[in-house]
């Protein structure tokens, strides 16, 4: 699976949009971009995933660049409860090969009042 | 999303005793479940893949005789930490996937005194 690079930490203002970047310059054509977050002392929570088109759900939006070498997770209106570590993970479809989901360091996001 | 539960949510035990942690998929069947371990301020590390009806697959460096995994049904996997020692104190998280997305349990915090 392709390696990802995320900033170790970032602060966001409550009520404002939070834009979380992720670089995955070695991504392969069949690899998806997944985002999870982990609130303190909880298990990771699935947020969103995509292949090449932008995706949106009730939690967030995922913007993937045209060359797919980077992506941005957007939390449209950050709340204090969005404070967590956010993980960007790139991997092939589970059906294709292997079942492992490997976590990197993630971005520690602190939403401030 | 799919629901994965764990029991207990936390446990304190004496050194040398064994501790069993249960992982259940509540609204789907899972032929494969995953066990992760997370130390403070570190990312999740995959310990093993639990396979229903067959032996678990352990990651390099994880002692299979110390961390016994049983996947007796399509909705239940158990992790038993045998002869626990203080260095086994950690946050243990299980995971399973109904389809393409992997979902995580709430985690079990183990403290070995």
Q: Taking CB atoms and an 8 Å limit, are B43 and A103 in contact across chains?
A: yes
| Band (A57; pLDDT cuts 50, 70, 90) | very high
Mean confidence (pLDDT) of chain B = 93
* Higher per-residue pLDDT: A62 or B32: A62
Mean pLDDT, range B14-41, rounded to an integer: 94
Whole-angstrom distance, CA of residue B38 vs CA of residue B11:
15
Q: Read off the pLDDT of residues A9-44 as tens digits, 9 standing for 90 and up.
A: 999 999 999 999 999 999 988 889 999 999 999 999
Range scoring the smallest mean pLDDT among A91-100, B22-31, B76-85? A91-100
pLDDT at A64 over 80: yes
Mean confidence (pLDDT) of chain A = 92
Whole-angstrom distance, CA of residue A87 vs CA of residue A5:
10
Q: Taking CB atoms and an 8 Å limit, are A46 and B97 in contact across chains?
A: no
Please report residues of B whose CB lies closer than 8 A to that of A106. Answer: 43
Q: Taking CB atoms and an 8 Å limit, are B43 and A106 in contact across chains?
A: yes
Please report residues of B whose CB lies closer than 8 A to that of A41. Answer: 91, 107, 109
pLDDT at A2 over 80: no
Give yes or no for B101 touching A (CB within 8 A). yes
| Band (A99; pLDDT cuts 50, 70, 90) | low
Q: Count of CB contacts below 8 A, A vs B?
A: 52
Other beta carbons less than 10 A from residue B91's beta carbon: 19
What tokens appear for A87 in the block? Answer: 């993980």
Please report residues of B whose CB lies closer than 8 A to that of A84. Answer: none
Give yes or no for B34 touching A (CB within 8 A). yes
Instruction: For chain B, report the end-to-end CA distance as a whole number of angstroms.
Output: 36
Q: Taking CB atoms and an 8 Å limit, are B100 and A95 in contact across chains?
A: yes
What tokens appear for A111 in the block? Answer: 């939403």
| Band (A92; pLDDT cuts 50, 70, 90) | confident
pLDDT at A97 over 60: no
| Band (A1; pLDDT cuts 50, 70, 90) | low
The per-residue pLDDT for B87 is 96
């Amino acid at each position: 699976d392709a390696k990802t690079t995320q900033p170790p930490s970032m602060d966001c203002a409550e009520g404002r949009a939070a834009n979380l970047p992720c670089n995955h310059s070695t991504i392969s054509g069949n690899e998806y971009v997944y985002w999870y977050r982990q609130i303190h002392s909880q298990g990771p929570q699935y947020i969103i995933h995509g292949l090449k088109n932008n995706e949106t759900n009730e939690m967030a939006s995922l913007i993937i660049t045209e060359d797919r070498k980077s992506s941005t997770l957007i939390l449209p209106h950050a709340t204090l409860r969005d404070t967590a570590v956010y993980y960007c993970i790139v991997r092939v479809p589970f059906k294709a090969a292997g079942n492992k989901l490997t976590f990197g360091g993630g971005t520690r996001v602190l939403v401030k009042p | 999303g799919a629901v994965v539960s764990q029991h207990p949510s936390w446990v304190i035990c004496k050194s040398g005793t064994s501790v069993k942690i249960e992982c259940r998929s509540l609204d789907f069947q899972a032929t494969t479940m995953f066990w992760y371990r997370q130390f403070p301020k570190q990312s999740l590390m995959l310990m093993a893949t639990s396979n229903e009806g067959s032996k678990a697959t352990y990651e390099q460096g994880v002692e299979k005789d110390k961390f016994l995994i049983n996947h007796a049904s399509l909705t239940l996997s158990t992790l038993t930490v045998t002869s626990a020692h203080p260095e086994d104190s950690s946050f243990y998280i299980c995971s399973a996937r109904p389809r393409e997305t992997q979902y995580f349990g709430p985690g079990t915090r183990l403290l070995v005194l």
